Chains A and B, each alone.
Chain A
Amino acid sequence: MFRVIGVAQVRFGAGLGSIVGGRASIAHEEGHVLAHGVPHGLTNCNLAVRVWCKIIRAGGCPVIVGGRIVGTMGEAATQTNRQVELHIPSELGWERVAMSAASSVAERMGFPRERIEDIKTAVAEATLNAIEHGNHQDATRKVYIILASEEEGLKISVLDHSSKPFSPLADTDRPDLTAKLAGQEPLRGWGTFLINALVDEVEYSTTNSGNLVRMVIHLEPLSVPKTVAETKRGKS
């Protein structure tokens, strides 16, 4: 998807620092520069480029992906090998391609069937939001999806090209079905509720390129200890 065009010094913009001696996969698309990741130590990505990929620094230095330290160079290389990237058209129906890919990756990782269904729905809804609300169904704009198989679980990122930051529902918010049935609220508006309910971690952010949804689904659901605790509370 990204054509590697250099292993060299990569500058991200005046006053924002640079990586010297690092390596980056960069490519030009739609007038932007794509570069994997965020340079080490640079967390404020007010860059003149689209930043959403990976930067690997030599010598076992920490690698930062999406603003987080995720490992050293060797680990990052392994992660790269277990990462699927998709660019899909902003047309309704194409979210099923993302669903299929996510299902395949999750199956390979050993997720149980019912969790794979959760993943498919979460990916579909995040992609739908990107297609409809982010890219306004403009077929010339792509939705970028990364499916990363990692030790922690399946990490999914969905990026659109919206110039407006979105304001997704907080974890605790739930659409009011009674109000919808009474005609007091629009019928739509379930997407982020489903995402929040079906994945273990979700983070919504706005980048210079658009809105980004990051989701994590653990191989061993965190809900297990919670259920035990709830059971104990129920007995007391």
Chain B
Amino acid sequence: MAQDTQVSLRENGGLVVLDIRGEITTFADAALTGAYRTASDGGAKSILLNFSGVDYLNSAGISIIIGLLIEARRAEQQLVMTGLTPHYHKIFQMMGLAQHAPVFETEDEAVQFVAKDTVVS
């Protein structure tokens, strides 16, 4: 009963945006990690995970996101997130995940945050 997960890449400002559609479960590993590595191999320094097309996210899927965060830290990249429903945003806060990968209400806010952070550093 595996469901498809589609991930597409695009650029916005200084961000590479991963637009995720479908479910984030254990079956999403190849699609999500593959897209992330494509962005990383292309030299992305800041990557935005856009969850606005995600209708189901479970603990196995969250573990995949933690895996991406580990890769981002090793590569000294910044991982940010947007498009989370209030429920999943709450869960990310409960887990402490939002402290390591900032969550923004809108994509524009994420772009501004990354631009500001780039200027400061």
Binds A, one of B11-19, B38-46, B67-75, B110-118: B67-75
A118 CB contact (under 8 Å) in B3, B60, B70, B87 = B87
> In the bound complex, how far is the Cα of B96 from the Cα of A20, in angstroms?
55
Contacts of A92 in B (CB 8 A): 1-2, 25-27
> In the bound complex, how far is the Cα of B69 from the Cα of A180, in angstroms?
10
Give the residue name and chain of the B residue nearest to A182 (CB).
Answer: B70
Query: Is A177 a contact partner of B100 (Cβ separation < 8 A)?
Result: yes
Binds B, one of A148-156, A189-197, A204-212, A218-226: A189-197
Majority DSSP secondary structure for residues of B touching A: helix
A190 CB contact (under 8 Å) in B3, B63, B86 = B63
B120 CB-CB contact with A under 8 Å:
no
Give 1 or 0 for each of A166-190: 1 = CB within 8 Å of chain B CB.
0000000001011011010001101
Query: Is B87 a contact partner of A93 (Cβ separation < 8 A)?
Result: no
Query: Is B91 a contact partner of A93 (Cβ separation < 8 A)?
Result: no
Query: Is B70 a contact partner of A177 (Cβ separation < 8 A)?
Result: no
Give the residue name and chain of the A residue nearest to B65 (CB).
Answer: A187
CB-defined A-B contacts under 8 Å, sample of 18: A93-B1, A95-B58, A96-B56, A114-B87, A117-B85, A117-B87, A121-B58, A121-B87, A125-B59, A128-B59, A180-B66, A181-B66, A183-B70, A190-B62, A191-B59, A194-B59, A194-B91, A197-B94
Q: Please list the 9 inter-chain residue pairs (A to B) with the smallest Cβ-Cβ separation, ordered nearest first.
A: A93-B1, A117-B87, A187-B63, A190-B59, A177-B96, A191-B59, A188-B63, A187-B66, A94-B1
